[in-house]
Structure formats: C-alpha cells, structure tokens
Amino acid sequence: MIYFDYAATTPVDKRVIKSMMPFLNEKFGNPSSMHSFSSETKKVLEKSRVIIAKAINASSNEIIFTGSATESNNMALKGVAFAKKRGHILVSSIEHDCVLNTAKWLGENGFEIDFLPVDKYGIVDPKEVEKRIKKDTILVSVMHVNNEIGTIQPIETIGKICKKNNIYFHSDAAQSFGKIPIDVTNIDLLTLSSQKIYGPKGAAALFVKDGVKIEPLLHGGGQERGLRSSTENTPAIVGFAKATEICLSTMEKEQKRLTKLRDKIIATLIKEVPNCYLNGHQTKRVSNNVNVRFSSIEGEAILFMLNSYGIAVSTASACSSPKLEPSHVLSSMGLKQEEAHGSIRISMGRWTKESEVNYLLKILPEVVKKLRDISPHK
C-alpha cells in the first residue's frame, strides 16, 4: 500500500518511538508524586513543555497538555465561554467538526454563534471578521490550515484585529504545526496535535496565553495549572516533544520537497484529466495537500478503486468521511453537491517518494476514465 492520507494521521517516527520507550517501563513514575520514581518523569514532562513552547514562541507555562486536538478545541471554546458566562462567538464555516459542533452546542446553551463565510478558495476575509464583531463578542476561532483543502488562513491579521478589539482569538493549528512557522504573538489560544507530526496519538496541547481566563472542563487533582486534571500521559508527551524537534529541524527542506511533489500532482492531473479542478488556493496552501475534483464521478468510487491498486487517499476529513452528505468545507466554498461529491484529498508526508507520486499519476487518470465510462452522469 502507498499512503497518501497524511492529513488524517501520520505513522510514528522510529526516533519518536525510541524516545518514548524508557517511559513505558522503567521510568513509569507519576509526575505528581513526591518520591524519586517521579522526579525523572516530572523533569522530562517540563522539558517537553519547553520544547513545544519554543516552537511557537511561547512560554512553557502557557502550554497545557491534553489528550487530543478535539479536547484542546473543546477546552478553548467552552473554557472561554464558561469563564465569560455569556456573549457572542465567531467561528469560520470551514472549521473541523470538533470546533463546529462545540460552537453549535454553545449556541444551544445561551451563547450567540455566527459562522464566518469563506471565498471560493476557502479563505476567511479579515475584513469580514472585523465587520461581524459585536460589542459582546468574546471569542473568534479560525483554523490556521484547513484539514481538507489545505488553505492557509491569514491568522496573524485576524489576530491583530481581535487584539485591537480586546477579543480572544483561538486557532486550530493541528494541520499547520510542524509544517509552517507559527508565532503566537497575536494569538490567545492555539491547538496543537502530536499525531499529525509523526508523534503518537493521545497527545496534544492547548496554548493558553498568560492572562487568558478559561474554565477547566475536567476537575480533579489540579494537574496542568488546574486547567486539565488527569495524570499526564508522559510517554506520549515525550514522543510529542521529540516529533516537534524533528519537524522543526527539517521544516524548510521538507516544505520545499513536498511543495515540488504537490505542484507536480496538481499540474499533471489538470493537464491530463479532462474536467479536473483544484479545490482551494493554488499557492496559499500547505505543502503536502492536494484536493481535486472530477466531474461526473463520485470521490468514494475513486477512493475504493485506488485502494484496489494499493493507493490510500481520502474523500474528506477522516473524522467525517463516513457521512453521506457533501463536505461542509467544499459547500462553504460555493461548490454544488455533485462537485463536492467528486472530490478527493491526496496528502503527503515524510516518507512519500517521487516514485509513489509517479505511480499515483499513472493510475489515477486510468481510474477516472474507467469510472466515467460506466458513470450514469456522463
């Protein structure tokens, strides 16, 4: 099998696994205990916090470890809402389901929720953010990179607008962290994920800027500054930190390599396959993402036929792909239902080879032609 679904999750780097192993057996102490068994785990926990903080230009005390990006996003939105008690929240219409569903839940429980539109490339206009801010707006949430189409949002500009209006700004950076530089100077809350950067699942973080008030979702022993009670998952956090170090050390080189492969896929498919179109912006997109649509056929059919050739792609976010309705991201961009249904996402990563891209570019046009030959919609 050739893996082109790195946006869904990544394999764990062997160097990451090696860094985790001691904390799975001999160094097993609870970081909150007071004896010598816990001293090493406490030390490595704080070292990991420093590594991740430095990666986004933050202070280590601003990093709260969680179990997933979903938890971090819930913690950001609900945490601010519960602390403020009431108010207006702005969320982009193309957020991950965990942000959209959290916002909708808050809307059912006394908060006013507005969804920011995007243009045909899936980009939020900062002027629209400023236009929709109200006197009682308490939070704006716009993801850094979209998980389906890979578009990069102007979060620095949006953050400055929020700062000027004394409003908290949250961004989900699960798809951008480790791929492009991030600076939290104009961000109040930022979601990070381990499993998207060749680290283990079950580890993530929420950056909470000093002075930002949020209510915890979990109550217990008071770990993580009292904001996320639970014994920390030390082995996974160590792996998360190691994965972060590796990504930062290779970011520039990897970005150039993947951008070249990305652009090759886009140019070849649009040239060789009739009625093939790119979803999202051609250049304002993360280097490893290609999202294309083919008229007259279903993305699911392409996925299954490619799978039979040993190629793994996806049709939407892995968290929502089993649903039958079209992607909310593509619909928000103005695509018709049949256009959205004809889309696939090709996402690359650290172990993607040019020979694998060449194989994809040989097989995919053949698959599209076969499916169109039997399609009732042609």
pLDDT computed for residue 226 by the predictor: 85
Decide if 2-7+251-374 and 14-246 have a common fold: no
pLDDT category of residue 378 using cuts at 50, 70 and 90:
low
Residue 128: phi and psi, rounded to 5, are -70, -35
Instruction: Select from 11, 185, 200, 176 the least CA-distant residue to 96.
Output: 176
pLDDT category of residue 124 using cuts at 50, 70 and 90:
very high
Mean pLDDT over each residue of the chain, to the nearest integer: 95
Q: Which amino acid does the sequence have at 35?
A: H
Fold type of domain 2-7+251-374? Aspartate Aminotransferase, domain 1 (3.90.1150)
Q: What is the pLDDT of residues 289-332, one digit of tens each?
A: 999 999 999 999 999 999 999 999 999 644 545 556 789 999 99
* Pair 6, 351: CB distance under 8 Å: no
Architecture of the CATH domain 14-246? 3-Layer(aba) Sandwich (3.40)
Taken as a whole, the chain contains a residue count of: 378
For the cut 90, the answer to whether the pLDDT of residue 120 exceeds it is yes
pLDDT computed for residue 29 by the predictor: 79
2's torsion region: left (phi>0), alpha (psi -120 to 50) or beta?
beta
Instruction: Select from 207, 202, 208, 206 the least CA-distant residue to 240.
Output: 202
Name the E strands within 126-188: 137-141, 168-172
What CA–CA distance (Å, rounded) separates 126 from 159? 9
Mind telling me the catalytic residues? 319
- Give me the residue spans of the domains in the chain: 2-7+251-374, 14-246
Instruction: Select from 350, 299, 330 the least CA-distant residue to 4.
Output: 350
Average pLDDT over residues 149-174: 98
The crossing angle, in degrees rounded to 10, of helices 354-374 and 299-308 is: 120
Q: What is the pLDDT of residues 286-297, one digit of tens each?
A: 999 999 999 999
Q: What is the pLDDT of residues 44-67, one digit of tens each?
A: 999 999 999 999 999 999 999 999
Other beta carbons within 10 Å of 158:
26
Residue 8: phi and psi, rounded to 5, are -80, -50
